[in-house]
Each structure stands twice: as C-alpha cells, then as structure tokens.
Amino acid sequence: MLDLENVHKNYGKVTALDGLNITISKGEIFGFVGPNGAGKTTAMKIISGLLLPDSGRVKVAGVDALKENHVLKEKIGYIPDFFGVYDNLKVNEYMEFFGSIYGMEGEKAKKLSLELLELVNLSDKAEQYVDHLSRGMKQKLCLARSLLHNPELLILDEPASGLDPRARYEMKEILKNLRQLGKTILISSHILPELAQMCTNIGVIDKGKMVMTGTVDHIFHEMESANPLVIRFTRNHERALEILKENPLADNIAIRNKSISITFKGNEEEEARLLSTFIQEGVMVSSFTREEGSLESLFMQITAKEEAEFT
Ligand SMILES: Nc1ncnc2c1ncn2[C@@H]1O[C@H](COP(=O)(O)OP(=O)(O)OP(=O)(O)O)[C@@H](O)[C@H]1O
C-alpha cells in the first residue's frame, strides 16, 4: 500500500528526512513514532502529496507520488494536527461543505455526511456549532471529513495528543472499525504507549531515519531488552561480576549498593540461563528484574548504538 525508499528532504540547511524507508501493507494500522523534530510531519506531508521530497521513491496505493502527485489526493485522507476555526458553521454544514468540494450535493451529500458522523459517534452533535466541540470531538469530525471521498489510506498526524483515556479508547475503536472497512491507516505520535494500544505495527523514526520497525509485540520486546536488568545479591558479589563480564549479552555494568544493573540484550530464555549460571556458581540472588519500560530508554539505546557505529 505504501513504499518509501531512501527519501531525503532538507529545509535549507536543516535535514528533515535522511534516507527514510517505510513499508506499509494494506490493512495495517501503522504507528509512526519519534521524538519532536524527528521528521514525522514532513514524511506524512510527502506521502499525502502536500510536499515534494528532494530525492527518493514514494509509491502510494500503486501511484508513483512523484510523477502523479495529483492522483494522491483521491487515494488519501489526511487529518492534520490542527483544526481551523469555522465561525457559525454547524457540524452537518461543515460535512456538507467539504462534501461539495468533492462534488457531492443535495440528498447524497446529506446522507453520506450523516453516515460518517454515525461512524465516528458524532450523530448527536450534527446540529451543534463546530467551534463549540471539544478537542476530541473536533478530531473525530476531522476524521469523518477525511472519509468523504472514500480514501484507501488515512494519515492522522498526532490524533491522540491531548485526548483523555476515554477519548483515546474511542479513537482506537473507530480505527479498528475503519480497518475492518478495508482502510490502511498511518498514525503518528511522539508517545509510544499511546500508539501501541491502537496499532498493528510500529515504526520508530529518529533524525529523519527509520531506526526500528515491526509488530507491536516485537517493538515491546525490543523496548524491554533496552531496559536495565537489576540483579540483587546477598553473597558472592565478585563472582557475579566475573560472570557478567564474560557474558556477551551483558553491557553497561553498574554496581549500585547491593545490586548490579546491566543492559542485557537477551530474550527470556537467555535471562533464565543467566540466572541459572549464578545459582550453579554459588552466587546468591535475591531478586532479578527488568526496570519499567520507557520510550526514552529505547531511544537512548538505539541512538547510542548508532553513534557507536559511526565512531
Ligand atoms: N517549513 C520548515 N522550515 C524549516 N524547517 C522545518 C520546516 N518544517 C520542519 N522543519 C524542521 O524539520 C525537522 C523535522 O520536522 P517535522 O515537523 O517533520 O518533525 P516531527 O517529527 O513531525 O516533529 P513534531 O513531533 O515536533 O511535530 C525539524 O528539525 C524541524 O525544525
């Protein structure tokens, strides 16, 4: 459905995209996550045909985005991270106004507008003024509007930011329904847990490059192994240190009071093997736990790795 290959984009001297690759298959809800300034909005504008890259290949729903830019708007529904001001326009009038831009008039436009408002749970707000809606409701209205021309790919820039947990849950259910209707969805955020609840796949972007992609489970596994493993001992501390220094999966060994903290890149099986080595060697372990996960630790590990590769 979507293929970006080696896409570059500079704004003057600022490099926004630095060889970005993205592949999204039909029916995926792809979470695009990265810190502020990583290049998410730039990439989404290029995919939507709102901005041209300096170089690279962009293919969206079979369309070469660089050669047939004008066709993209039919294939894509873009929901930006801001909502304009619509003085004196009611929700149903707003929908019909945007319908008219796509050439829909009269009863047909009214019927479709109501169906889409129903899909995003806004039917009861049809007569309300747009400017009086809450942020979450405006997000949903924007989503309904972007569906008017029946696009194949939906692009949502930071839709969950500023939503309370209940509104986020509702958004997740709406996206699930849209997926069942055959839509492919690209959704961005700078908060990984926010996206993980909604998505089938995740791509992590940093400094204009994709640094990690995979299913939500894969990303969480990677994230967990980025978190320090903290081992507490009651006896034979020295032997524990020797074992850790010999283990190729252990790194960044730090001694804290009666415990040792390490970066351990192994899976659960390898963790169990490490624990059993301690026991066989007479090291008395009183606790063996992963610290709580955070996106920051994942980024730190990924970027630290990149810097090491460069030096
Ligand atoms: N119109 C512009 N002119 C100059 N620099 C820009 C422009 N738009 C973006 N940039 C720069 O390009 C880089 C990528 O910005 P972009 O908005 O794509 O990131 P982002 O991941 O969407 O960030 P955020 O999460 O803060 O919205 C940043 O360094 C930003 O300052």
Ligand 1 lined by 39 (C-beta under 6 Å)? yes
- pTM of the predicted model as reported, rounded to 2 decimal places: 0.79
Q: Token match 């301690």: residue?
A: 278
Ligand 1 lined by 178 (C-beta under 6 Å)? no
| Mean pLDDT, rounded, for 127-133 | 92
**CATH number for the domain running over 2-213:** 3.40.50.300
Per-residue model confidence as pLDDT tens digits over 57-69: 999 888 888 888 7
Q: What are phi and psi of 292, to 5 degrees?
A: -55, 145
Ligand 1 lined by 41 (C-beta under 6 Å)? yes
Do the domains 228-291 and 2-213 match in fold?
no
Ligand 1 lined by 31 (C-beta under 6 Å)? no
| Mean pLDDT, rounded, for 67-95 | 84
Work out the mean pLDDT of the chain and round it to a whole number: 87
Q: How confident is the model at residue 53 (pLDDT cuts 50, 70, 90)?
A: very high
Per-residue model confidence as pLDDT tens digits over 17-29: 999 999 999 999 9
The structural architecture, per CATH, of the domain 228-291 is 2-Layer Sandwich (3.30)
Per-residue model confidence as pLDDT tens digits over 201-252: 999 898 999 988 999 888 877 777 778 899 999 888 889 999 999 999 999 8
How large is the ipTM?
A: 0.96
pLDDT of residue 297: 62
- Atom 31, ligand 1: which residue's CA is nearest? 37
| Mean pLDDT, rounded, for 265-294 | 88
Ligand 1 lined by 36 (C-beta under 6 Å)? yes
Q: How many helices (H) and strands (E) does the chain have?
A: 11, 14
Q: Does the pLDDT at position 50 exceed 90? A: no
DSSP string, 60-84: ETTEETTT-HHHHHHHEEEE-S---
pLDDT of residue 193: 73
DSSP 145: H
pLDDT of residue 116: 95
pLDDT of residue 240: 92
Domain coordinates of the chain in residue numbers? 2-213, 228-291
E strands, the chain, are: 2-11, 14-24, 29-33, 55-60, 63-64, 76-79, 153-156, 184-189, 201-206, 209-215, 229-235, 250-256, 259-264, 284-290
Ligand 1 lined by 37 (C-beta under 6 Å)? yes
- H or E element, residue 124: none
Ligand 1 lined by 80 (C-beta under 6 Å)? no
Integer Cα distance of 270 and 260 in angstroms = 17
The rounded Å distance from CA 28 to ligand 1 centre is 25
Among residues of the chain, what percentage have pLDDT more than 70?
Answer: 94
Q: How confident is the model at residue 302 (pLDDT cuts 50, 70, 90)?
A: low
* 12/82: higher pLDDT: 12
Q: Does the pLDDT at position 303 exceed 60? A: no
Strands 229-235 and 259-264: antiparallel
CB 140 within 8 A of CB 156: no
Minimum-distance ligand 1 atom for the alpha carbon of 38: 21
Q: Does the pLDDT at position 307 exceed 50? A: no
Per-residue model confidence as pLDDT tens digits over 102-125: 888 888 889 999 999 999 999 999
